[in-house]
Structure 1
Amino acid sequence: MRIAPLSLLISASLFASCAFAQDTATVTGIESEISIKQAEYDNATQILEKHLKEESQLQSQLDLLRTRSTELDKEKNQALDAMNEMYRRLIDDPTIDISAAQARYQQAVVDHKQNKDDIAMQLAAIASHRKDIEQIRVAKHTQLNTLESLKEQLTTARVERLRNEFTREGTLEVNHTINCKRTETLAACEQRGQQMGLQKATKRFVDQIFANLTEERLVEPKRNMAGAQVQVLSSHVVNSAFSGQGNYNVNLSVTMRGDVNSSRLCNLLSVDNRYCSEYGTPLSTGYQTSYETTFTDSQLTFSDSKDNTNVSVSRMSEQPIHDYSVKPMPTVKPQLDANKMIELTLRSNVYDDEVFIDGVSFGSTRLATTLPSGIHDVEVRKQGYQPYRVRVDLRKPQTIHAKLVKKPESIAAPTYTSEQRNTTPVTSTALGGNAAAAMVVIPAGKFEMGDINGNGLANERPVVEKTIASSFAMQNKEVTVGAYQQFVSNTNYKTEAERNRGCAYYLNGEPVWEVNLNWRNPGFEQSSDFPAVCLTYNDAKAYADWLSGQTGQQYRLPNEVEWEYAARAGTKTEYPWGNEIGKNLANCGWCGSEWSNKSAAPTGSFAPNAFGLYDTVGNVWEWTHKSAEQADVTVRGGAWNFAPSLARASTRLILAPDFRANYIGFRLVRER
């Protein structure tokens, strides 16, 4: 509900600024681009479905031709036998007419040859169709990544727009009338009236800010969580007067600037907190649950335009010190020490943590803030660490040194059922010291496979329950450059990228082939502990076959069921730690790591999941096993240059077996 203007005058700068129009234009522009890209993606999906249907029809026709080939071959042999029989009879009876037998055989040969030609043409058509399908799929993946990246940009733009809308400046004119108390002087009544008028102005100012937010419907219900504040820039008395009834009326013109606790913007928009991390620590102000205005001892002079006299009243601090919620403005007279603010400083022994004071996020340490005196509950959290909690009786400035202790288990350790036995990851290192030999045992169990939370792609549905009947061993990290080097040195193997056309990389959101790129030179700097990339499905399979021969045990790529079961590690969330990607928990595009959108990261740079597996989220896509009947292969897990939404446990991208890129690698499982 918007406030009627009445005696409220807001300058144009509050609601019609070029900067704010630009914010909205940016959001609108990204939304428009998303709409275009979504249409392109949907169109590519329809084209792909059409090509797949045509391929299925071509394959059915090929099957018919092959069935007919068997029949024609049989007919040709029978016609030949019949013609030979006629020739034998012709020796005894030269008058026998063998032309029908000859014609039958001749037709059988012609039909058989024509069918062979039709099969060859059909195979060529299918091969051509397969190339088109592969190109469409790669284009779809590109469009999907671009689409998800635009959604990242849109959320960032929405957060920035909201921040700018909260920090607008404006001039407000307000009338306020009070009844003078019999025990106070006229000067005291005048001062109290002006102070209360100033309170009314700040309250109405923040009301107008909320009412004019672009996403007001979404934000308003969370108003008490916003930490919205007002800073008075200047103020003067337009006119004032006493009445014979003992009333004092004042007309104030106040110029103010809004402010907001930036760390809370994400919660207001219901988006992941990582979008607000760039704003650093919150404002150095405690959150108050009333409209009460706090005054300091400094003085603010109001100039009366009528008689040019000056009236001194207590002035608000130059730092923003007004916090608002949905409670009504109190009518009690403000006191100078009614809400004394005291400085609290926090330090911790870790970085990228998050501080909560009385349940409200205040950003990360190092943090210096001011809070109302009294009891406060302080908590410092970081993924993978036990939270640090303390209750503080804040009477004088204090410094808290929080010491966080790392959890013995991983950041996402779930509770297992009795079916999920052997829950402690078991590492196998008895494989001749080979760099690829670090294995963990994945326990048997059941799980739900697919788009459990409804955020996935069409090929992740429906959700089905799968059973892993027996435990199996899986490499705890992606196969590294060093491990692949051992294989190549031992076999002189040449990868498909080295033999033909190089490897693909992303340039301006499009996959581009570079002939000089391969696993040795993927287009970014790497060392031996980086994941080996620019490898095809067959390159990965060749490594698995070699490792099997070296160790006497059977290694292979995991199938999709095994991969997702191991990646989920007993969870039903999008990622091992929850449904939000967070910040700096994995290496994917816009995930906040030092490698995001730049390159792969050394394997094991982030915490493992509950089964002891590293990098199941991001870093590089991983090949999975395909059956003999499948023409294409699925990669899982996301990558350093793909959007976080594509690094979910259930995300599937389908590729041709000979595709290679500097964002695709693999890991192996070992047969029992």
Structure 2
Amino acid sequence: MRIAPLSLLISASLFASCAFAQDTATVSGIESEISIKQAEYDNSTQILEKHLKEESQLQSQLDLLRARSAELDKEKNQALDAMNEMYRRLIDDPTIDISSAQSRYQQAVVDHKQNKDDIAMQLAAIASHRKDIEQIRVAKHTQLNTLESLKEQLTTARVERLRNEFTREGTLEVDHTINCKRTETLAACEQRGQQMGLQKATKRFIDQIFANLTEERLVEPKRNMAGAQVQIISSHVVNSAFSGQGNYNVNLSVTMRGDVNSSRLCSLLSVDNRYCSEYGTPLSTSYQASYGNSFYDSQLTFSDSQDNNTVSVSRMSQQPVRDYAVKPVTNTNQLVVDNTKNQMVELTLRSNVYDDEVFIDGVSFGSTRLATSLPRGIHDIEVRKQGYKPYRVRVDLRKPHTINAKLVKKPESIAAPTFTREQSNKSVSSTSSAAVVVIPAGTFKMGDINGNGLANERPVVEKTIENSFAMQSKEVTVGEYQKFVSNTGYKTEAELNRGCAYYLNGEPVWEVSLNWRNPGFEQESNFPAVCLTYNDAKAYANWLSGETAQQYRLPSEVEWEYAARSGTTTEYPWGNEIGKNLANCGWCGSEWSNRSAAPVGSFSPNAFGLYDTVGNVWEWTHQSSSQSDVTVRGGAWNFAPSLARAATRLILAPDFRANYIGFRLVRER
């Protein structure tokens, strides 16, 4: 089959520019807001550094005043002794002049008092400065969380923009001429010419879509994995004619809509698959075609000889579907029809677990139950879930097929350090917090290992845990804290003084009515206790130590990060991406994300057997004698995933409390 030179004339706009301009405006708006927030955060960082430097200077001045106080105290005592000696001599010799001794003592008293006043003023200045630093730090944490949240929104907006750009609708006019074969009828030549024009129209449509993608440079190299499709909405012959030389010319007007395998959008943009999980399987909407002439109703897949890019074209009607693959033949201008290749076959996947993730040929397709259409041929299928062995199978897809994946739990002894659950010497009924796991001794790298962290996570240092230690496997719960309060009558700092902080419109707001009993969201006894200060946590540790005859305390930062990493060097126990519904943090895909804390132990433990080291609530760590502030670790239900990494550190004042901060304890050997 020989064809004459082909000309394609686009006579109608391909794009609904208004909608896509809005998508771009959304992305641009978020990028602009990120730029503003980044500048605010950088400015706060500079202000904090300035205040910390000033505080250091004030502390140095205080140290000098205290050192001078000792000298002045010594001088005052010496002046007093000298004056007393002069008084004794005055009794024997009334003519002795004691005025110089009196003046010396008077000056010593004045100098000593002045120094005491200076110390008091310096302490007041430092205290005021400390309050400013605390406020700046809280503001920085807010700005950081807002900044990271905006980045989450930006990625979501980019994915949505790309999806909308792929699903554009437009009309093309195609002018197509072919030579009729001597052996075919005029009707057959007419039908073939119209079919070839239709195929070229869909190819040009796909080319136009890719050429007009906002992030075309990023997506184009991955074109073959996009799963881009064309759905023909309608087409009709504008005009057609036969020439005296046996040529047939047809002018077609074809209205089409793009389609894409939405689960692959994240791979095209090189972002985490969790941003695409909401889309699930590709679109399956059917369109009723309307034709001026009698075309075959079909799904067409063909390859263009110039770039060898495959394009899938869906054209739906009530008639049976016929499949074609139009391919070039070597060293000839003829095109042959092959209806045995590139057919789409339905595949259904089910599994025996929830919240799994399906990968087909290395691309995430969401969770089971899953139904999708794949090109006919061999495909590699994998179903994954945290804590289970992956299910893998290779299928030669020739007809509709269903796979029932059976995932098996991993033994705790495999690919994870052994951990041991222990109970305290007292009965469990005393308190369930005594349930701990033993963390083995070892060496690890602490800090921003992967280069994605904050300035206070650097430099990365190697730390050694000389001896094993026991740590509570879960965060201390409301029920456990209630036992402590009932036993001692303890009042938390939130209950005694202006309540507890919560986030409102991205800002921490103090609410006097909030405390561990009423944190601002519904909770039960198995929720982590929050709205507690560092001292509130220490008070509980002291009580538990007395109750159990075991020594409990808050973990050091080194202990906490070592236990949270559980032998890994990745950002999270399962890898460098947060995934979906693997933890309770903002935008992490759980039912509690950005709503409230979750019941402790709602997600799989890490390799050491610790729950919720990622998200749920920030956890207090031990304050060393050289620190004036305390660090919290682990992220929270309303903080961005990037702040739930094992290395993330937030520094707070010991009396700060919020409904996203709790704690867990370690038990001494």
TM-score, scaled to structure 1: 0.90
Find the counterpart in structure 2 of residue 288 from structure 1. none
Note the C-alpha offset of 1:537: 0.3
Query: Residues 311-344 of structure 1, C-alpha deviation per residue, up to 9 Å, x if partnerless?
Result: x332334xx9789995257233334555444333
Note the C-alpha offset of 1:94: 2.4
Secondary structure in structure 2 of the residue aligned to 1:579: coil
Note the C-alpha offset of 1:628: 1.6
Find the counterpart in structure 2 of residue 315 from structure 1. 297
Report the AA paired with residue 336 of structure 2: K
Asked if structure 1 preserves the Cα contact closer than 8 Å seen for 2:470 and 2:666, the reply is yes
Corresponding position: 1:166 with 2:166: yes
Of 85-94 and 245-254, the range deviating more from structure 2: 245-254
Separation of aligned partners in 2, 1:50 and 1:326: 59
Note the C-alpha offset of 1:358: 3.5
Asked if structure 2 preserves the Cα contact closer than 8 Å seen for 1:559 and 1:625, the reply is yes
Separation of aligned partners in 1, 2:423 and 2:274: 38
Report the AA paired with residue 345 of structure 2: I
Corresponding position: 1:630 with 2:611: no
Corresponding position: 1:442 with 2:439: yes
Note the C-alpha offset of 1:271: 1.0
Find the counterpart in structure 2 of residue 228 from structure 1. 228
Find the counterpart in structure 2 of residue 660 from structure 1. 657
Asked if structure 1 preserves the Cα contact closer than 8 Å seen for 2:531 and 2:659, the reply is yes
Find the counterpart in structure 2 of residue 429 from structure 1. 423
Find the counterpart in structure 2 of residue 483 from structure 1. 480
The gaps in structure 2 that reach 5 residues or longer are 1-5, 311-326, 329-334
Note the C-alpha offset of 1:10: 5.6
Which residue, 354, 379, 383 being the options, matches 1:351? 354
Note the C-alpha offset of 1:102: 1.2
* Residue 50 to residue 339, structure 1, CA distance change in 2 (3 Å): closer
Query: Residues 557-589 of structure 1, C-alpha deviation per residue, up to 9 Å, x if partnerless?
Result: 000000000000011110000011000000001
* Residue 266 to residue 328, structure 1, CA distance change in 2 (3 Å): closer
* Residue 213 to residue 392, structure 1, CA distance change in 2 (3 Å): same
* Residue 29 to residue 431, structure 1, CA distance change in 2 (3 Å): farther
Separation of aligned partners in 2, 1:360 and 1:86: 97
* Residue 80 to residue 360, structure 1, CA distance change in 2 (3 Å): closer
* Residue 10 to residue 270, structure 1, CA distance change in 2 (3 Å): farther
Separation of aligned partners in 1, 2:93 and 2:447: 76
Which residue, 560, 580, 592 being the options, matches 1:595? 592
Find the counterpart in structure 2 of residue 290 from structure 1. none
Separation of aligned partners in 1, 2:358 and 2:244: 55
Asked if structure 1 preserves the Cα contact closer than 8 Å seen for 2:377 and 2:397, the reply is yes
Asked if structure 2 preserves the Cα contact closer than 8 Å seen for 1:281 and 1:364, the reply is no
Asked if structure 1 preserves the Cα contact closer than 8 Å seen for 2:421 and 2:435, the reply is yes
Find the counterpart in structure 2 of residue 528 from structure 1. 525
Asked if structure 1 preserves the Cα contact closer than 8 Å seen for 2:585 and 2:636, the reply is yes
Find the counterpart in structure 1 of residue 648 from structure 2. 651
Query: Residues 56-95 of structure 1, C-alpha deviation per residue, up to 9 Å, x if partnerless?
Result: 1111110000011011111111111122222222223322
Note the C-alpha offset of 1:461: 0.6
Which residue, 390, 396, 407 being the options, matches 2:399? 396
Query: Residues 127-161 of structure 1, C-alpha deviation per residue, up to 9 Å, x if partnerless?
Result: 11111111111111111111111111111111111
Note the C-alpha offset of 1:227: 0.5
Separation of aligned partners in 2, 1:336 and 1:191: 17
Report the AA paired with residue 261 of structure 1: N
TM-score, scaled to structure 2: 0.91
Note the C-alpha offset of 1:190: 2.6
Note the C-alpha offset of 1:176: 2.9
Of 484-493 and 92-101, the range deviating more from structure 2: 92-101
Separation of aligned partners in 2, 1:654 and 1:640: 18
Secondary structure in structure 2 of the residue aligned to 1:135: helix
Of 239-248 and 58-67, the range deviating more from structure 2: 239-248
Separation of aligned partners in 1, 2:499 and 2:302: 61
Query: Residues 6-29 of structure 1, C-alpha deviation per residue, up to 9 Å, x if partnerless?
Result: 8442633x3352211111111111
Report the AA paired with residue 625 of structure 1: H
Find the counterpart in structure 2 of residue 263 from structure 1. 263
1:24-173 matched pairs, under 5 angstroms: 24-173=24-173
Separation of aligned partners in 2, 1:40 and 1:323: 52
Report the AA paired with residue 454 of structure 1: G
Separation of aligned partners in 2, 1:339 and 1:72: 94
Query: Residues 15-56 of structure 1, C-alpha deviation per residue, up to 9 Å, x if partnerless?
Result: 352211111111111111111111111111111111111111
The gaps in structure 1 that reach 5 residues or longer are 286-295, 303-309, 416-422
1:302-381 matched pairs, under 5 angstroms: 302=292, 310=293, 312-317=294-299, 327-328=308-309, 330-331=327-328, 332-336=335-339, 338-381=341-384
Find the counterpart in structure 2 of residue 306 from structure 1. none
Separation of aligned partners in 1, 2:512 and 2:60: 37
Separation of aligned partners in 1, 2:96 and 2:600: 83
Secondary structure in structure 2 of the residue aligned to 1:511: strand
Secondary structure in structure 1 of the residue aligned to 2:432: coil
Corresponding position: 1:613 with 2:610: yes
1:141-290 matched pairs, under 5 angstroms: 141-283=141-283
Asked if structure 2 preserves the Cα contact closer than 8 Å seen for 1:435 and 1:480, the reply is no
Secondary structure in structure 2 of the residue aligned to 1:406: coil
Corresponding position: 1:571 with 2:568: yes
Find the counterpart in structure 2 of residue 419 from structure 1. none
Secondary structure in structure 1 of the residue aligned to 2:366: coil
Separation of aligned partners in 2, 1:576 and 1:210: 38
Separation of aligned partners in 2, 1:201 and 1:187: 21
Separation of aligned partners in 1, 2:296 and 2:273: 38
Asked if structure 1 preserves the Cα contact closer than 8 Å seen for 2:165 and 2:209, the reply is yes
Separation of aligned partners in 2, 1:315 and 1:194: 13
- What is the count of residue pairs matched by the alignment? 637
Of 391-400 and 448-457, the range deviating more from structure 2: 391-400
Note the C-alpha offset of 1:511: 1.0
Query: Residues 479-528 of structure 1, C-alpha deviation per residue, up to 9 Å, x if partnerless?
Result: 11111112112211111111111111111111111112111111111111
Secondary structure in structure 1 of the residue aligned to 2:433: coil
Find the counterpart in structure 2 of residue 585 from structure 1. 582
Separation of aligned partners in 2, 1:57 and 1:342: 73
Query: Residues 255-309 of structure 1, C-alpha deviation per residue, up to 9 Å, x if partnerless?
Result: 1111111101111111111111111223459xxxxxxxxxx9x99744xxxxxxx
1:433-512 matched pairs, under 5 angstroms: 433=428, 434-512=431-509
Separation of aligned partners in 2, 1:637 and 1:127: 29
Asked if structure 1 preserves the Cα contact closer than 8 Å seen for 2:348 and 2:403, the reply is yes
Separation of aligned partners in 1, 2:409 and 2:260: 33
Secondary structure in structure 2 of the residue aligned to 1:436: helix
* Residue 321 to residue 283, structure 1, CA distance change in 2 (3 Å): farther
Note the C-alpha offset of 1:463: 0.7
Report the AA paired with residue 269 of structure 2: L
Asked if structure 2 preserves the Cα contact closer than 8 Å seen for 1:231 and 1:321, the reply is no
Report the AA paired with residue 85 of structure 1: E
Note the C-alpha offset of 1:414: 4.9
Separation of aligned partners in 2, 1:536 and 1:555: 17
Secondary structure in structure 2 of the residue aligned to 1:524: coil
Report the AA paired with residue 488 of structure 1: V
* Residue 491 to residue 299, structure 1, CA distance change in 2 (3 Å): closer
Separation of aligned partners in 1, 2:546 and 2:309: 77
Of 368-377 and 170-179, the range deviating more from structure 2: 368-377
Separation of aligned partners in 2, 1:488 and 1:196: 81
* Residue 112 to residue 607, structure 1, CA distance change in 2 (3 Å): same
Asked if structure 2 preserves the Cα contact closer than 8 Å seen for 1:620 and 1:637, the reply is yes
Note the C-alpha offset of 1:409: 3.3
